[in-house]
């Protein structure tokens, strides 16, 4: 038994057995963790929102501090910059985008009518269509009103749920500036505060791990949002060149969805293709070319220079992680899948490297 305890496979087996027992214990005692989960859920929104703004504005604060500006004054200037940017968006961009979105929603019934007329014309003029295809087309056409009604019911249900939680959302938005202020003011004190309870060797190890996690989150948030902004600008330029309707709204939609790696561009191009094909069938080609060009510029020029190799993950891995997270946690899972996976991978790689180094040192000591 003593010999087995030193076998690697035996240690792994014991680890997985204990891990599954821990999972079983947690699943059977959820009533203990439920209040904690509720508490974490209540503060998660302002903390995550403040964290995103923290990584976006931290370089500005550090830039000001390098110019001998006191930290408090630097933070105040950062808040002024945020207010200016949001004000410019609300005054100059949002009214145009809102009108375009409203006009697009108003044209949806006419688009559905055009599709129905096209299907009717096709059925009347093409006789060599199998009966199964005709039946499928009829079923689809008859279900269009029901599908639209289902979409509207889902949308209004979502809005109703949103209104039901509007107080907590507003409270979260109000708390974001306070969290952001203290993150900017005392963010560099977090790692020393955590590591001071450990021995010097363990403290250095944990400090190294937390620094790596900080670098990963900083690279992802800053890089992904800057890349999304650049893609949105490229899409807007392309849409304006070809005269696509609702160009600003579609470009903003592309900017938002591009936050999702790899899958975002496919989501972004869908409404642009729909609008384009109803406006002019040739736009189907032009919109595809614009999206392909924007993605090539982003993947070959912008992303390598902005994000570097900090998130050097295989595309298949990212797609798999996003799909798995989406099936588990919906849109929130899709949004946070990649940074969560990157952080988890960093932790595992760090501790594995620590284990290998410690084992190597023991072997060297024996020699």
Q: Is residue 228 part of a domain?
A: no
pLDDT of residue 137: 60
pLDDT of residue 238: 92
Q: Which candidate, 269, 99, 76, 291, places its Cα nearest to that of 184? A: 76
Per-residue pLDDT reduced to its tens digit, 161-186: 444 455 666 767 888 899 999 999 98
pLDDT of residue 160: 47
pLDDT of residue 64: 92
Per-residue pLDDT reduced to its tens digit, 211-247: 888 888 888 888 888 888 888 999 999 999 999 989 9
Count the neighbouring beta carbons within 10 Å of the beta carbon of residue 265: 21
Q: Is residue 22 part of a domain?
A: no
Q: Is residue 237 part of a domain?
A: no
Cα(22)–Cα(351) distance, integer angstroms: 20
pLDDT of residue 158: 44
Quick check: 357 pLDDT over 70?
Answer: yes
Q: Is residue 335 part of a domain?
A: no
Q: Please state the φ and ψ torsions of residue 87, each to the nearest 5 degrees.
A: -65, -45
pLDDT of residue 292: 87
Q: Is residue 232 part of a domain?
A: no
Q: Residue 305 to residues 232, 286, 296, 302: CA-CA distances in angstroms?
A: 18, 28, 14, 6
Beta carbons within 8 Å of 140's beta carbon, 6+ residues apart:
119
Q: Which candidate, 205, 207, 179, places its Cα nearest to that of 192? A: 207
In the chain, where does DSSP find H-type helix?
A: 2-5, 8-28, 30-66, 71-88, 94-125, 131-164, 166-186, 190-195, 200-242, 247-257, 263-279, 283-297, 303-306, 315-366
Place 38 in a pLDDT band, splitting at 50, 70 and 90.
Answer: low
Quick check: 1 pLDDT over 60?
Answer: no
Q: Is residue 132 part of a domain?
A: yes
Place 15 in a pLDDT band, splitting at 50, 70 and 90.
Answer: confident
Number of domains making up the chain = 1
Point out the least confidently predicted range of 2-16, 121-135, 180-194. 121-135
Domain extent, residue 99, equals 42-180
Q: Is residue 126 part of a domain?
A: yes
pLDDT of residue 309: 54
Q: Is residue 49 part of a domain?
A: yes
């Amino acid at each position: 038994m003593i010999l087995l305890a030193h076998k690697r496979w035996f240690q792994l087996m014991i680890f997985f057995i204990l891990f599954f027992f821990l999972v079983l214990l947690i699943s059977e005692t959820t009533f203990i963790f439920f209040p904690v989960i509720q508490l974490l859920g209540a503060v998660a929104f302002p903390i995550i929102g403040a964290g995103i703004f923290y990584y976006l504005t931290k370089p500005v604060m550090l830039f000001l501090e390098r110019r001998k500006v006191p930290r408090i004054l630097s933070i105040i200037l950062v808040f002024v910059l945020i207010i200016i940017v949001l004000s410019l968006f609300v005054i100059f961009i949002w009214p145009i985008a809102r009108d375009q979105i409203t006009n697009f929603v108003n044209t949806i019934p006419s688009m559905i009518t055009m599709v129905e007329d096209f299907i009717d014309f096709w059925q009347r003029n093409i006789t060599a269509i199998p009966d199964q295809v005709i039946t499928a087309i009829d079923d689809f056409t008859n279900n269009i009103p029901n599908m639209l009604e289902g979409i509207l019911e889902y949308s209004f249900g979502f809005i109703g749920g949103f209104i039901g939680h509007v107080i907590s959302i507003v409270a979260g938005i109000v708390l974001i500036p306070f969290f952001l202020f203290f993150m900017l003011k005392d963010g560099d004190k977090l790692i020393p505060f955590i590591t001071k309870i450990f021995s010097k060797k363990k403290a250095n190890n944990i400090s190294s791990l937390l620094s790596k996690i900080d670098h990963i989150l900083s690279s992802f948030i800053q890089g992904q949002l800057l890349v999304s902004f650049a893609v949105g600008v490229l899409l807007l330029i392309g849409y304006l060149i070809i005269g696509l309707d609702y160009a600003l709204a579609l470009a903003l939609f592309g900017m938002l969805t591009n936050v999702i790696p790899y899958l975002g561009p496919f989501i972004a191009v869908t409404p642009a293709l729909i609008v384009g094909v109803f406006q002019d069938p040739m736009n189907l080609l032009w919109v595809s070319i614009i999206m392909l060009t924007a993605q090539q510029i982003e993947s070959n020029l912008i992303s390598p220079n902005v994000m570097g190799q900090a998130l050097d993950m295989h595309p298949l891995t990212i797609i798999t992680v996003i799909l798995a997270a989406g099936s588990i946690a919906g849109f929130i899972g899709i949004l946070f899948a990649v940074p969560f996976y990157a952080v988890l991978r960093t932790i595992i790689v760090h501790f594995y490297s620590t284990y290998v180094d410690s084992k190597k040192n023991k072997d060297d000591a024996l020699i």
